Structure 1
Amino acid sequence: MNSIMDKLYNAVEEKGVVCVGLDTAFEYIPQHISEGRSVEDAIVKFNKDIIDATIDVAACFKVQIAYYEALGMKGMMAYKKTLEYLREKEAIIIADIKRGDIAATAKMYAKAHFEGDFEADFITLSPYMGMDSVEPYLPYITTGKKGIFSLVRTSNKGAEDIEYLDTASGDKVYHVVGDRLMDMGKEYVADCGYHPLGGVIGCTHVEEGKALRKRFSNMFFLIPGYGAQGGKAEDVAMYLNNGNGGVVNSSRGILLAYKKDGREKEYALCAREEAIRMRDEIRKAVADLK
């Protein structure tokens, strides 16, 4: 079976580790695109152009739902149409929804984001209510067609407030969360060697990179923190396994690349150039580690 994890692994092998973050705030859109269009149409136009320009150099796309929810129904229609276009292009989609609830509520979240208008290949979850907040998603995982990225050790400064607390065993809280996900995922390891219960592992705590990659050996990482949050290519390389085993998200860095040189009319080309630059920079950092 060609599982979603095998598809993602193969996409990284072929295209590199770049995950294009479609965290599209309306103010990111160049004026010549937004003028004369509705909010919904302007966002969809912008997103489609970014997708078309980067699809051959990006392993996957992450769509952060909050940017669309904030705009009400018109924003959610733009979200729906963006997902539809990504599916049409056969792109791998991560819906960044960060849900964290239990029982019947989690089942409804799973149905909402693994089926129907908002269907995605992966969704992000927050497991800090406990592992029973992850279990309702497993019926979709067992098909091999869906996966999750669960918060483990995040890139924000506030991660130290809870994730870094010591437990009775001497491990940090995030170690325990990652270990539980590893245990839960061991039944679903794909041909590529990774299971579909991935982890969100920020690259901004560089001293822990090698240890985390070794500890969570067959967990696929969604890696935030590169670029705007201070993470560098050489930091990212430590969280990968010979250049695979993870994807690295960039949102503002790619979407707003056109602002660096004032190339507003070439926003899509600038996004492509930034994705290629990022891909090649990380590939070089991986090679330098060997």
Structure 2
Amino acid sequence: MRSYIIDKLYERVEKRGVVCVGLDTALEYVPEHIREGRTPAEAIFQFNKEIIDSTCDIAACFKVQIAYYEALGLEGLTAYKRTLDYLRKKDQIIIADIKRGDIAATAKMYAKAHFQGDFEADFITLSPYMGMDSIEPYLPYLESGNKGVFSLVRTSNKGAEDIEYLDTTFNKKVYEVVADKITEMGEDYIGECGYTAIGGVIGCTHVEEGKKIRANYNSMFFLIPGYGAQGGKAEDVALYLNNGNGGVVNSSRGILLAYKKENRAKEFSLCAREEVIKMRDAIREAVKRA
């Protein structure tokens, strides 16, 4: 068995806990004293930088949602690049949340754009709902051992029920068919930790089948959204973990806006750190009780 980027992520979870800090940073999240005298893009980067500095020793990884940066045009993409560069400088694991899903020729260009060059990340998120050939162009980058992907499987939004929960002729839900195919594709990229470099995005807001999903896809490492602002709780998350590992749990607004709960804008980065610790410890306790 060879080493993959998923092994590094697994080790980070073992040491630091499961929290993935989501840098889905909107300008209105940034306190006024950071915005003052800076362009929007500069303010967002400065905010991100201070959040990273405050949490980098207790976060398993960081997820950067590109839409928040694209919305600001070229300046925003510069802030996105600067954020990725800074995370790399701090030796942090980066998940670029880009959710790409397109025909193979286009996917090849997306892979080049986000696995090398200005927007290089360690993991990227993908949508498989155009078919598995929309994921295949990313696989050559996984061969190096330094890259991985998280494919949408069962998401945290209410609209997941519109398509992902439809019954198929295989007596399975659509998301289960997708998970089966992702698992099969990942068999060629299993790391020393027993998980594959092709992970799955599994929201924690639909808890009824949580234990079943974890048991059925035991080699799939999960990126788990839905905690906090979307309603997911620590005990919900625990269902999707294996002895406290096997996944990372993303929180964006809950961490970035923690300072607003106590009106501590000047201490926003300290509040973020406190929130990460609180979240990490709550999930650890829930795992013990599960």
TM score, norm. by length of structure 1: 0.99
In structure 1, what is the equivalent of residue 265 of structure 2? 264
For 1:171 and 1:217, the matched residues in 2 are separated by 18
In structure 2, what is the equivalent of residue 141 of structure 1? 142
Contact 2:156 2:206 in 1 (8 A): yes
User: C-alpha root-mean-square deviation of aligned residues, in Å?
Assistant: 0.6
For 1:201 and 1:76, the matched residues in 2 are separated by 27
Structure 1, unaligned stretches of length 5 or more? none
Contact 2:4 2:189 in 1 (8 A): no
Question: Is 1-10 or 165-174 further displaced after alignment?
Answer: 1-10
Three-state SS of the structure 1 residue aligned to 2:193 is: coil
Contact 1:121 1:145 in 2 (8 A): yes
Residues 70-116 of structure 1: per-residue CA shift (max 9 Å, x gap):
00011000000000000000100000000001221100000000000
Structure 2, unaligned stretches of length 5 or more? none
Contact 2:220 2:246 in 1 (8 A): yes
In structure 1, what is the equivalent of residue 124 of structure 2? 123
In structure 2, what is the equivalent of residue 193 of structure 1? 194
Report the identity percentage.
74
In structure 2, what is the equivalent of residue 211 of structure 1? 212
Amino acid at match of 2:68: Y
In structure 2, what is the equivalent of residue 99 of structure 1? 100
For 1:167 and 1:3, the matched residues in 2 are separated by 34
For 2:164 and 2:223, the matched residues in 1 are separated by 17
In structure 1, what is the equivalent of residue 79 of structure 2? 78
Deviation of 1:3 (Å): 2.0
For 2:114 and 2:189, the matched residues in 1 are separated by 20
In structure 1, what is the equivalent of residue 222 of structure 2? 221
Residues 24-64 of structure 1: per-residue CA shift (max 9 Å, x gap):
00010000000111112111110000000000110000000
For 1:208 and 1:53, the matched residues in 2 are separated by 35
For 2:235 and 2:193, the matched residues in 1 are separated by 24
Contact 1:203 1:225 in 2 (8 A): yes
In structure 2, what is the equivalent of residue 247 of structure 1? 248
Mapping 1:25-40, distance limit 5 Å: 25-40=26-41
Runs of 4+, deviation exceeding 3 Å = none
Deviation of 1:279 (Å): 0.2
Deviation of 1:2 (Å): 4.0
Contact 1:102 1:136 in 2 (8 A): no
